[in-house]
């Protein structure tokens, strides 16, 4: 008997629009060899998208390729291909999905061939794997590589020396390389205009994410949030299209607030908000819809998450500043979530639990992602101690379907929701007794 196809997921208008934006970027990449447009590959955290736009590069982001392939359930074969070539099971599965995709013809998530990049630009922010990843990719493409070294926030503070160090590299190494590879002269006024568009989009995004402080929350800031941050974390930040998208998204959420509605799920509007959670760590992409369903079927809404800050922690005040264009690019790179130390991350997560009146912190520990997973148990215990709210720990992976156990995840989540319920009932009983 043929396997029944899952019903079509219900999406907000904004989700459909960002899906089209991502598809258009893949089309631009596919067309680049024919149009003569230069191509740069870069990563999400700390990316210099506004600067790259000044040189008319088409932007390719390997993490986006991997997660998009994961959501289309293509990465299992790609990962096996990379492991057959000698890559360890413990290597980041984004890396193996990327290398496996290249080995299979470099056909991207939309079925279109991805071009050979003219430049690999690594603006390193918090993940050593990125450096090894680009070394492996460079061996395949034989193209130029440029690296912007970003100091780690060991003490949780961006100092003047750090900023000056990054700006110096931008002036002396990165911009000259971009000029030479692209053939386009740098125009700082053009950069300023892109940064204005970024700041506008960032303001609206922060408003949307902070709307989850309402009860019921009109959004899910983890599962729904990955759609919301898609344009600003990828190749659209700085564009007029991104600014328009976030203005429209804000209006959409404002209307949901006026109507007192909860989030939209793949099966429609969530009828009742029973649990409010803060989530640390990326989602699983190969079973994204099934994973989300485990939450909304229980009435659990994620009101804040660390993953939606991996490409920029805007809700703590940062905005791209067109009046200080190179300095603001430096601050952006320095301030990404994976470049924060553990005490700073604990502060942030505890603040989310308290400000969003969450029932607790849930950690999704990713097997192959050390940038997120290192120190997560310490974070869990610290946030529990500070907030008095219970925490829980589940384990999946980014894009390796072998490491998603639906039964195990579901059992842990159900136990966690039961724990929250019992803690609430105990608090009510103590209140009555008093």
Place of tokens 């099934």: 290
388: alpha, beta or left? (left if phi > 0; alpha if psi -120 to 50): left
Query: Mind listing the pLDDT tens digit for each residue in 72-113?
Result: 999 999 999 999 999 998 899 999 999 999 999 999 999 999
Higher pLDDT, 434 or 423: 423
| CB contact at 8 A, 372 and 400 | no
d(CA 372, CA 51): 27
Does residue 223 contact residue 292 with C-beta atoms inside 8 Å?
yes
**What DSSP assignment string belongs to 369-398?**
-HHHHTTHHHHHHHHHHHH---EEEEEE-S
The three-state secondary structure class of 280 is strand
**421 vs 415: CA distance, rounded Å:** 10
Evaluate whether 75 touches 399 at the Cβ level (below 8 Å).
yes
Six token digits for residue 103: 């080995």
The 39-41 sheet, strands edge to edge: 58-60, 39-41, 119-123, 144-148
Give phi and psi for 85, each to the nearest 5: -80, 0
Nearest CA to 268 among 249, 292, 248, 237? 292
Across the chain, what does the average pLDDT equal? 93
Q: Considering the entire predicted model, what is its pTM?
A: 0.93
The answer to whether 122 and 145 are in contact (CB under 8 A) is yes
pLDDT, tens only, 40-60: 999 999 999 999 999 999 999
Region 373-389 average pLDDT:
94
Cβ–Cβ contacts within 10 Å for residue 70, how many? 28
């Amino acid at each position: 008997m043929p396997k029944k196809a899952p019903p079509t997921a219900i999406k907000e208008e904004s989700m459909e629009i960002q899906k089209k934006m991502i598809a258009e970027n893949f089309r631009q990449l596919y067309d680049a060899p024919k149009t003569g447009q230069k191509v740069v590959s870069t990563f999400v955290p700390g990316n210099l998208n506004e600067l790259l736009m000044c040189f008319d590069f088409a932007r390719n982001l390997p993490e986006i390729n991997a997660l998009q392939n994961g959501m289309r359930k293509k990465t299992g074969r790609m990962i096996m291909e990379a492991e057959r070539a000698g890559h360890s099971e413990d290597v980041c599965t984004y890396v193996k999905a990327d290398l496996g995709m290249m080995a299979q013809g470099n056909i991207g998530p939309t079925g279109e061939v991805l071009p050979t990049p003219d430049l690999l630009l690594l603006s390193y922010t918090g993940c050593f794997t990125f450096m090894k990843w680009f070394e492996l990719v460079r061996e395949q493409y034989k193209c130029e590589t440029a690296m912007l070294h970003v100091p780690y926030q060991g003490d949780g503070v961006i100092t003047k020396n750090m900023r000056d160090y990054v700006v110096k590299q931008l002036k002396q190494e990165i911009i000259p390389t971009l000029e030479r590879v692209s053939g386009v002269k740098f125009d700082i006024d053009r950069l300023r205009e892109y940064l204005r568009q970024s700041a506008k989009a960032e303001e609206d995004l922060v408003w949307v994410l902070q709307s989850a402080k309402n009860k019921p929350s009109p959004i899910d800031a983890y599962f729904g949030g990955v759609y919301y941050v898609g344009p600003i974390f990828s190749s659209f930040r700085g564009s007029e299209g991104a600014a328009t998208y976030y203005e429209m998204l804000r209006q959409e959420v404002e209307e949901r607030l006026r109507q007192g509605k909860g989030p939209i799920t793949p099966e429609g509007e969530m009828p009742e908000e029973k649990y409010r959670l803060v989530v640390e760590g990326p989602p699983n992409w190969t079973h994204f819809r099934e994973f989300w369903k485990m939450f909304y079927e229980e009435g659990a809404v994620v009101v804040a998450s660390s993953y939606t800050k991996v490409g920029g922690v805007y809700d703590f005040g940062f905005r791209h500043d067109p009046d200080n264009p190179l300095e603001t690019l430096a601050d952006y790179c320095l301030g990404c979530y994976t470049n924060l130390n553990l005490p700073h991350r604990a502060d942030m997560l505890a603040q989310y639990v308290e400000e969003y009146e969450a029932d607790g912190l849930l950690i999704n520990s990713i097997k192959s992602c050390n940038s997120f997973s290192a120190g997560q148990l310490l974070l869990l215990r610290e946030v529990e101690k500070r907030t008095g709210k219970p925490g829980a720990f589940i384990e999946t992976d980014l894009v390796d379907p072998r490491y998603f156990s639906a039964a195990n995840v579901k059992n842990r989540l159900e136990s966690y929701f039961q724990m929250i319920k019992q803690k609430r009932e105990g608090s009510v009983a103590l209140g009555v007794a008093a």
